[in-house]
Every structure is written in C-alpha cells, then in structure tokens.
C-alpha cells in the first residue's frame, strides 16, 4: 500500500509518524472517510468542506490547498490500483496537529501531519441488507456538544469506541448513543433514521450529532419523493413505536435496522420506505459523483 505522508507517497513500512505527534499524544486532529464508485469520488467537495470545517473548529489549518485535493486523492487511488471500473475505493484523510513538545498548546506543533490512505472498499455483506442489523442503546452518552462538538470529525474517537465496545459485548451490530437529555443522536459511525406512520424521522443536528453527508442526501431524496420529514428530538420510545429504522453513512449507504435492544422494529424486517429510499439513493448516485 502506498500512503501519502505530508508531501510524498511512501510505502507502508515508511509510513511512520512521530511519537511526539499530538494526534498520538492527545487525539488532536481531524479526519474524513470518503469513498469512490469506480473511479469517481462520491460527494468529494462536501467531504473536503467538512474536513476544512472540522479543522477550523480546532484552529487547525488544512495544509493542502482545496484545489490540490482532487488530484492527490486520485493519485492515491491510482498508485494503489483502487478506484477503477468495478473496484470502489475507501479513502481516509487524517490531519493531525503534528509533532511537537509534550503539552497541550497547539503552538508547540508548527507542522500538521497529513496522511491519505486508500484501500479497496469492503462493502457490507448483502445478507445484512436483507435481514437488517440489530442495535442496542448504549449506556455511554454522546459527547455534550458544548464540551466536544460531535460536528467535529475528530481523531479522538473514544466516545464512539466506548459505545462500540458495548455493542460488541452485547453481540449487536452497533450502539445508538443518547444525548445528555436521553434523546437519540446517532450510532458510532452512522446517522439514524426511523419511519413512523409514513413520516421519516431523524434526530435534529441540535441533539448533538455529526452532520452526515449521506444523512443530508437522504433527507433531500425523501423530500423529492414527498415523504414527510421530521428532524426533531426523539426518545428511545420512538424507536419502540417505529415501523422501520435504518442507518446511513458513506460506506454502508442505507442499512436497515430490524432489532433494537432485542425487540423487533416494526415487523422485524427491512421496511418499504427504507427500501424505497435505498433504491432512490442508488438510482440518483451518479448525480453525486465527480464528472
Ligand atoms: N463515519 N456519525 C458519525 C459519528 C460518523 O463517524 C459518521 C461517518 C457518520 C455518517 O457520516 P457520512 O454520511 O458523512 O459518512 C455519522 C465514517 C464512515 C467513519 O468514521 O469512517
């Protein structure tokens, strides 16, 4: 695997970062997970814009100018022979504060570390889309936005990792995290939606969650299909009363959820609106790819 590190492509063995890097010492950095369909990157500019916003939120200037990113991402795919005809790419950009003396002051780190990794995208097993996945409600709460905004896609992922550990221990696919007021927020790497009486519901950004790029796209598709949408504040009981539930993120697209805390959601099978929206997503995908 060829990895872009700071200013050049290096082999996996040479892709090493200092133990003084504040990304390692303090989780001080930001990242994005992006994908391609074939050679065309999905929602490229939206991901790059979110990377810039995450950087701005922590006072970290992304050291690569916006106009250079497309060529760099494509070079990473070409060098690794991914992102070709039927070979979708997974891309991860990580920008950390960089190496510097021990201490919290970002000024200790004059040069951010830039890493681009890419590998073949491993799609979720088709079986999961057919049967749906199970979730639990985690005891771990989502970060309080005024303490650490979930809108910052930070390399400090402990909040999510603790909830993921709970899911693994319970034998579930993933955990739903509640906020400080016991309202639904999101799962560890995805946004959550549910359907109730024909209305598509999803926690509002003010509940404290990442503004997922797939979430936003799905909301647009639902509006196009004239499905009524509620972005609101919901408790766990709304999932118990839901007819359908699904998750969205860049790599999974739309994943049906059929059990929550051991209880079936609706009929316990992927629902019609979930299928319809995933179908619409696939039918419209080309609109959201690079030319
Ligand atoms: N995760 N919520 C969280 C906490 C996430 O980490 C992600 C993305 C999402 C969905 O965002 P998007 O639709 O933009 O992918 C929601 C990626 C896949 C990751 O961390 O690798």
In this structure, is residue 291 part of a structural domain? no
DSSP H helical ranges for 80-199: 126-131, 158-170
On whether both 90 and 132 belong to a single domain, the answer is no
Per-position DSSP letters for 188-250, written without gaps between them? SSSEEEEEETTEEEEE-GGGT----HHHHHHHHHHHHTT--EEEE---HHHHHT-SEEEEEET
Considering its fold, how many domains does the chain have in total?
A: 2
For ligand 1, is residue 250 a contact (CB within 6 Å)? yes
CB 202 within 8 A of CB 257: no
253 phi/psi in degrees, rounded to 5: 65, -105
On whether both 83 and 57 belong to a single domain, the answer is yes
Pocket probe for ligand 1: among 27, 31, 33, 122, the residue whose CB has the most ligand atoms within 8 Å is 33
Ligand 1 atom nearest 215 alpha carbon: 13
For ligand 1, atom 20: residue with the closest CA: 189
- Mean pLDDT for 73-102 is 95
Give tens-digit pLDDT for 268-280. 999 999 999 999 9
On whether both 147 and 254 belong to a single domain, the answer is yes
On whether both 111 and 132 belong to a single domain, the answer is no
In this structure, is residue 179 part of a structural domain? yes
CATH code of residue 210:
3.20.10.10
To which residue do tokens 């995908």 refer?
285
Q: Is the pLDDT at 150 greater than 90, yes or no?
A: yes
- Mean pLDDT for 86-102 is 96
Distance 250 CA to ligand 1 centre (A): 7
On whether both 137 and 247 belong to a single domain, the answer is yes
At residue 85, the pLDDT reads 81
- Active site annotation includes 153: yes
Give tens-digit pLDDT for 210-251. 999 999 999 999 999 999 999 999 999 999 999 999 999 999
For ligand 1, is residue 175 a contact (CB within 6 Å)? no
Q: Is the pLDDT at 70 greater than 90, yes or no?
A: yes
Q: Where are the beta strands (DSSP E) in the chain?
A: 2-5, 8-11, 29-37, 40-41, 89-96, 113-120, 133-137, 174-178, 184-187, 191-196, 199-203, 229-232, 244-249, 253-260, 263-264
On whether both 272 and 137 belong to a single domain, the answer is yes
Give tens-digit pLDDT for 161-208. 999 999 999 999 999 999 999 999 999 999 999 999 999 999 999 999
Q: Is the pLDDT at 148 greater than 90, yes or no?
A: yes
For ligand 1, atom 6: residue with the closest CA: 189
At residue 86, the pLDDT reads 79
Q: Is the pLDDT at 25 greater than 90, yes or no?
A: yes
Reported pTM? 0.97
At residue 65, the pLDDT reads 95
In this structure, is residue 140 part of a structural domain? yes
At residue 84, the pLDDT reads 85
Q: How many CB atoms lie within 10 A of CB 65?
A: 7
Output Rg (C-alpha) for the chain, integer angstroms.
19
Task: List strands edge to edge, sheet with 2-5.
Answer: 8-11, 2-5, 113-120, 89-96, 29-37, 40-41
- Mean pLDDT for 32-61 is 98
On whether both 112 and 221 belong to a single domain, the answer is no
Question: 47 is written with which tokens?
Answer: 């991901």
In this structure, is residue 94 part of a structural domain? yes
For ligand 1, is residue 185 a contact (CB within 6 Å)? no
CATH code of residue 29:
3.30.470.10
Q: Is the pLDDT at 291 greater than 90, yes or no?
A: no
Q: Is the pLDDT at 118 greater than 90, yes or no?
A: yes
Please tell me the distance from the alpha carbon of residue 150 to that of residue 181, in angstroms, as a whole number: 15
Catalytic residue among 130, 153, 164, 267: 153
At residue 145, the pLDDT reads 97
- Collapsed DSSP state (helix, strand, coil) of residue 285: helix
Local structure of residue 65 (DSSP, 8 states) = -
On whether both 199 and 275 belong to a single domain, the answer is yes
CB 96 within 8 A of CB 20: no
Domain that holds residue 83: 2-120
- Sign for the CA dihedral angle at 164, 210, 54, 118 comes to positive
C-alpha closest to that of 182 among 144, 215, 210: 144
């Amino acid at each position: 695997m060829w990895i872009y590190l700071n200013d050049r492509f290096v082999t996996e063995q040479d892709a090493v970062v200092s133990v003084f890097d504040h990304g390692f010492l303090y989780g001080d950095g930001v990242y994005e997970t992006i994908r391609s369909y074939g050679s065309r990157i999905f929602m490229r500019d939206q991901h790059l814009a979110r990377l810039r916003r995450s950087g701005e939120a922590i006072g970290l200037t992304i050291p690569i100018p916006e106009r250079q990113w497309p060529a760099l991402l494509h070079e990473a795919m070409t060098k690794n022979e991914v992102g070709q005809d039927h070979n979708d790419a997974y891309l991860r950009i990580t920008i950390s504060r960089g190496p510097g003396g021990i201490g919290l002051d970002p000024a200790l780190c004059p040069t951010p570390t830039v890493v681009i990794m890419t590998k073949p995208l491993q799609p979720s097993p088709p079986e999961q889309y057919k049967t749906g996945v199970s979730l639990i409600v985690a005891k771990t709460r989502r970060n309080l936005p005024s303490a650490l905004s979930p809108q910052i896609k930070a390399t400090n992922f402990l909040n999510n990792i603790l909830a993921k550990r709970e899911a693994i221990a319970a034998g579930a696919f993933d955990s739903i995290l509640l906020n400080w007021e016991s309202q639904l927020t999101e799962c560890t790497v995805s946004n959550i939606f549910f359907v109730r009486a024909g209305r598509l519901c999803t926690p509002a950004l003010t509940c404290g969650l990442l503004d997922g790029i797939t979430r936003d796209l799905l909301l647009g598709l639902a509006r196009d299909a004239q499905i009524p949408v509620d972005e609101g504040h919901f408790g766990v009981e709304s999932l118990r009363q839901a007819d359908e539930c699904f998750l969205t993120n860049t790599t999974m697209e739309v994943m049906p959820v059929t059990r929550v805390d051991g209880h079936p959601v609706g009929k316990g099978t992927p629902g019609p609106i979930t299928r319809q929206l995933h179908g619409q997503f696939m039918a419209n995908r080309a609109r959201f790819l690079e030319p």
